[in-house]
Structure 1
Amino acid sequence: MSLRQTLRGTGVAIVTPFTHSGDIDFNALENLINFIISNGVEYLVALGTTGETPTLSKEEKTDIVTFVFEKVNGRVPIVVGMGGNSTHEVARDLEKMPLEKAAAILSVSPYYNKPSQEGIYKHYEVVAAASPKPVILYNVPGRTGRNLDAATALKLAHEIPNIGGIKEAANNMVQCMHLLKDRPDHFLVVSGDDDLVMPQLACGMDGVISVAANCLPERFSNMVRAGLAFDFKKAKELNDSMLEAYHLLFAENNPAGVKAFLAELGLIQNHLRLPMVPLSEGLAKKVKIYLKSVAS
């Protein structure tokens, strides 16, 4: 079964809850997992950027993946984030991480060192060879400093069998259309931009790996399912109701926005690891107002 079938719909890049002392709050993580799944999303993504992975140790990452597999217990597929800007270190990490139960890995393109397109291609060639699971490319130039061009992504898709999809978060609709026009039939294309998902579904995307679906899982996944069914009247109504949420989620940084939402819902404590800090007081008040408006 291709990733286009397994991972169609809404995936959630889950946050990592922390206690006041800065440890991982596994009780809150279990509650969050159950909340998200019970509200209808199609799959989870552990160790995405939303999970504050740059601040997690390798031991913590392994503990989170093991815990997520245990608590999900086969209810939905799980994708594991495994990326970095040292190609050979990513390959070594793939050998050590317990990935037997993963549907795929999500691997961000190399950040900060700004490789050429040929360098990005060769990086993913090595990662795909080392990975025991299909690789989903992750293009997010706002974080990495380098765009993964559509031509490079398509070359990877057509030439390397273990590359099964892409999370496209370049905020570029034309690039998305090129990917969708020329992709192989098996190749999964999902959005990484919550605020663009609805029009991207109209272009033919297979779904999304979402931040917003942490805190608005039912509303957001219903919007995606409506878009996948080409019921854009319903999709637009639901999307319109979340436009303010999209702004609040990303106005300062991710995951400060989503953690403010989740704390207001009583699912986690509002703690982040430096250099990330909680949402400013003014925006936090707007989060409360928004959640009251959608609950009424």
Structure 2
Amino acid sequence: MSIFEGAGVAIVTPFQADGSVNYDKLDELIDFHCNGGTDAIIICGTTGESSTLTEEEHMDCIKFTVERTKGRIPVIAGTGSNCTRTAIDLSKEAVEDGVDGLLLVTPYYNKTTQNGLIAHYKAVAAEAKAPIILYSVASRTGVNIEPATVATLVKEVDNIVGVKEASGNISQISKIMQLTDGNIDLYSGNDDQIVPILSVGGKGVISVLSNVAPQEAHDIVAKFQAGDVKGSRDLQLKALPLVEQLFCEVNPIPVKKALNLMGMEVGGLRMPLSELSAEHTESLKKAMVDFGIKLT
């Protein structure tokens, strides 16, 4: 059984004016998603600015999200690190806090080999007894998980069950499904490729779009799974201009601006991320209005 099917939100981490985590606002966002069609919450991922959270903040956000979600939808914790021991410790603590699964990005900066990736993921999976989703996003980490590596891990490790594929390479993604005989939970890591990934057997998306349009992101997947491929495709194509603007600067700069434009008041960004430029803000506003999102 999959951890989830549908659209899981890669949720932002809201901040106070002084830069501290705004837990009251995080509570509001959790309710917004639990009541708004979102199928799972992915906390402390890239969109949640995990790289600039302290370890204490990181674990506090995970525990808080589990407690406030109250089992309404699954919670998946981003606990990856370029240090295997750190990834193990974060993952074990998240499991103790009650998460439904773990999202483990490839080690970044030190750029390990494929054999190193296998050893890394096996080490984490041996100590963190929860379903694990691999996260392949070479554009940010410098390391691609090759299809054969994914297949080896899924076949040899019981609790490695899925992959979030953000390579953008549909041929690579199709190869993963072929090498695993489809016995893997495949999630799109790119909001502009939800339908193509569903077409090769994907279970859904781990989505930035869901932050601002949770019901629509859910519906893209739900319509496809219900056999309404045209309806799913039409929604995917309608969302493309907004998705493009949500990535007009590095994620999560635009999506935080979008939420603030909606009156969600999620605060700013932690350095070295900077505020969205004025030019891109106007383009984002237009895309949001065209998609039907109300601005304050």
TM-score class, shorter-chain normalisation, is: over 0.9
**1:186, CA displacement in angstroms?**
4.7
Instruction: Give the alignment partner of residue 190 of structure 2, picking from 188, 193, 200.
Output: 193
Q: In the alignment, what sits opposite 1:64? A: 61
Aligned counterpart for 2:33 among listed residues 33, 36, 43: 36
Paired position in structure 2 for 1:268: 265
1:107-134 Cα distance to aligned partner (Å, 9 max, x none): 0111111111101111111011011211
Provide the secondary structure at the position in 1 that maps to 2:47: helix
C-alpha separation between the residues in 1 aligned to 2:114 and 2:266?
41
Deviation string, structure 1 residues 112-159 (Cα, Å, up to 9, x no partner): 111111011111110110112111111110111011000000000001
Which residue is 2:71 aligned to?
A: 74
Partner Cα distance (2:97, 2:14) in 1: 24
Aligned mates of 1:170, 1:291 — CA distance in 2 = 26
Structure 2 Cα separation of the partners of residues 209 and 179 of structure 1: 18
Select 1:83's aligned residue among 70, 80, 99.
80
1:157 to 136, 154, 159: 154
- Aligned mates of 1:175, 1:63 — CA distance in 2: 36
Q: CA deviation at 1:293?
A: 2.4
Q: Which residue of 1 aligns with 2:21?
A: 24
* Distance verdict in 2 for CA 1:295–1:185, change over 3 Å: closer
Segments of structure 2 that go 5 or more residues without pairing to the other structure are: none
The worse-fitting range, judged by mean Cα deviation, of 89-98 and 108-117 is 89-98
Aligned to 1:112: 109
After superposition, the CA RMSD in angstroms is 1.5
Give, in whole Å, the separation in 2 of the partners of 1:95 and 1:165: 18
Mapping of 1:135-174 within 5 angstroms?
Answer: 135-174=132-171
SS of the residue 2:92 aligns to: helix
Residue matched to 1:215: 212
CA distance in 1, matches of 2:31, 2:225: 24
Tell me the residue number matched to 1:240. Answer: 237
Contact residue 182 and residue 201 of structure 2 kept, 8 A: no
Amino acid at match of 1:171: G
Deviations 1:19-51 (A, max 9, x none): 111011112111111112212111111111110
Shift of 1:184: 5.3
Aligned to 1:45: 42
Amino acid at match of 1:276: L
Distance 1:192 1:42 in 2: 15
Identity rate, percent: 35
Contact 2:95 2:129 in 1 (8 A): no
Matched, 1:125 2:127: no
Separation of aligned partners in 2, 1:114 and 1:58: 22
Q: Distance in 1 between the 2:43 and 2:210 partners?
A: 14
Structure 1: runs of 5 or more not aligned: none
Which of residues 164, 174, 178 in structure 2 aligns to 1:177? 174
Aligned residues between the structures: 293
Q: For residues 266 and 91 of structure 2, what CA distance do their matches in structure 1 show? A: 31
Counterpart Cα distance in 2 of 1:208 and 1:99:
26
Using the alignment, how far apart are the partners of 1:96 and 1:239 within structure 2?
Answer: 37
**Shift of residue 229 of structure 1?**
2.6
Equivalent positions of 1:3-18 (< 5 A) are 3=2, 6-18=3-15
The TM-score normalised by the length of structure 1 is 0.95
Letter in 1 for 2:195: M
Between the aligned partners of 1:264 and 1:35, the Cα distance in structure 2 is 16
How far has the Cα of 1:235 moved from its partner?
A: 1.0
| C-alpha separation in 2, matches of 1:88 and 1:37 | 33
